[in-house]
Structures are given as structure tokens and as C-alpha cells.
């Protein structure tokens, strides 16, 4: 297994988790920036990193805020290559990932 194969598997797992994650949009955006492939051979600057400087609140749920997603899963061309629905065949593993990503 090559380094590129491992990278593909990791991206697919993280894309699947992003699709089912129900938490903070800043964290979602940060993970999206991390897993997005480099463009034109240059690494992207992580734009959503500042949202991770404070701990994620636990306990009572606060007011719901509007979703300000900084990415769009349908518009990203590279996701078709890392489509987790075609790469992951085991429903038990998919259920495990859904549970663990939240």
C-alpha cells in the first residue's frame, strides 16, 4: 500500500465524517481545509483555524445558530474520487463512523 493509498483512505473517512458531523461549523470548516487537496502544487492557508482556539461547549444546548458552511460537498470535484459510499462497503463500519464523528 502506497502513501497515496493511505491518503485516499484517510480523506474518504474524513469526508464521510464531515457529511454526518452535527457539531460546530468552525470545526467542520477547519477539517474541510485540512483534507482539501493542494491546488497548483501549493498548500492552502488554513482559514478556519481560529475557530478551534476555544473549547467546544458541552452540556446544555444553547440557541441554534444559522449554518454558515464554508464549503459545499456537492461543488467539490475532488470528492467524487474519494466517495465514501463507494469505498466503504461494510454497513457496520459506516454506522461506527457516524457514531464516532459526533
For residue range 20-38, list pLDDT tens digits in order: 888 888 888 888 888 887 7
DSSP-based three-state secondary structure for 66: coil
**pLDDT-based confidence at 68, cuts 50/70/90?**
very low
H helix runs in 36-90, sequence order: 84-87
67/88 Cα distance (integer angstroms): 28
The set of residues, in sequence order, having a beta carbon less than 8 Å from that of 41 and lying 6+ positions away, is: none
102/82 Cα distance (integer angstroms): 21
- Per the structure block, which three cell numbers stand in for 20? 454526518
Q: Mean pLDDT, to the nearest integer, of 3-25?
A: 87
Q: Mean pLDDT, to the nearest integer, of 65-78?
A: 56
Task: For the chain, give the mean pLDDT.
Answer: 74
With a cut of 70, say whether residue 98 has pLDDT above it: yes
pTM for this one? 0.65
21/27 Cα distance (integer angstroms): 10
**In this predicted structure, what is the pLDDT of residue 31?**
85
Q: What percent of the chain has pLDDT over 70?
A: 61
With a cut of 80, say whether residue 67 has pLDDT above it: no
**Phi and psi torsions of 41, nearest 5°:** 75, 5
User: What are the residues facing 42 on neighbouring strands?
Assistant: 39
Amino acid at each position: 500500500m502506497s502513501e497515496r493509498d493511505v491518503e485516499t483512505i484517510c480523506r474518504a473517512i474524513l469526508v464521510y465524517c464531515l457529511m454526518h458531523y452535527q457539531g460546530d461549523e468552525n470545526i467542520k470548516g477547519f477539517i474541510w481545509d485540512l483534507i482539501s487537496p493542494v491546488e497548483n502544487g501549493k498548500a492552502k492557508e488554513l482559514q478556519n483555524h481560529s475557530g478551534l482556539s476555544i473549547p467546544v461547549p458541552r452540556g446544555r444546548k444553547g440557541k441554534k445558530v444559522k449554518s454558515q458552511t464554508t464549503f459545499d460537498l456537492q461543488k467539490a470535484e475532488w470528492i467524487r474520487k474519494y466517495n465514501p459510499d463507494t469505498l466503504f462497503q461494510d454497513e457496520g463500519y459506516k454506522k461506527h463512523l457516524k457514531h464516532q464523528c459526533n
